[in-house]
């Protein structure tokens, strides 16, 4: 069975989201204080929400709906990163950019443009790991 390009991009992006879905760890109490902890928790909640509701490009609205969810998540993650500042802001901004790139690719695919390329999922994974480290989480999980 062949997987459509839009479905493949969506599935790979959700994998990146789950890698980036981290919890703030004990390092926060030493390095960041309340704003950082709150921002990291809000980022985690947003990533889990997108991963659970936005992962299917074949559901209601398809690739365009998933692209919109990724764009909205990127905006929220970027904002939470700004609230935290420092390394969380840097990592959140990079990861949000990856989500925006994925959303743009999904929009191109949904309009029939198959020459839009693919997002850099290796980069997305790295930015997700950076975000986890910035939030003080030392282990990563998928799912």
**pLDDT tens track for 57-74:** 544 467 888 899 999 999
Task: Give pLDDT tens digits for 81-135.
Answer: 999 999 999 999 999 999 999 999 988 888 887 776 788 889 999 999 999 999 9
Task: Give pLDDT tens digits for 38-58.
Answer: 999 999 999 888 888 755 554
pLDDT at residue 104, as a whole number? 92
pLDDT at residue 55, as a whole number? 53
Q: How far apart are CA 101 and CA 79, in angstroms?
A: 17
Tokens of 28: 């926060």
Radius of gyration of the chain (CA): 15
pTM of the predicted structure, to 2 decimals: 0.74
Q: How far apart are CA 30 and CA 14, in angstroms?
A: 31
**Who's near 57: CB < 8 A, 6+ residues apart?**
4, 6, 7, 9, 10, 11, 63, 66, 106
- Cβ-contact 91, 39 below 8 angstroms: no
pLDDT at residue 91, as a whole number? 96
């Amino acid at each position: 069975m062949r997987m459509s390009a839009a479905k493949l991009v969506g599935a790979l992006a959700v994998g990146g989201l789950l890698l980036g879905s981290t919890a703030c760890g004990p390092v926060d109490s030493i390095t960041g204080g309340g704003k950082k902890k709150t921002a990291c928790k809000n980022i985690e909640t947003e990533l889990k929400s997108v991963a659970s509701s936005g992962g299917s490009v074949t559901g209601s609205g398809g690739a365009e709906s998933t692209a919109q969810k990724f764009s909205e998540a990127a905006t929220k993650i970027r904002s939470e990163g700004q609230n935290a500042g420092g390394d969380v802001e840097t990592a959140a901004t990079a990861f949000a950019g990856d989500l925006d790139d994925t959303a743009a690719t999904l929009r191109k695919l949904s309009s029939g443009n198959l020459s839009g390329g693919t997002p850099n999922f290796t980069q997305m994974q790295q930015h997700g790991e950076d975000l986890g480290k910035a939030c003080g989480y030392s282990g990563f999980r998928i799912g």
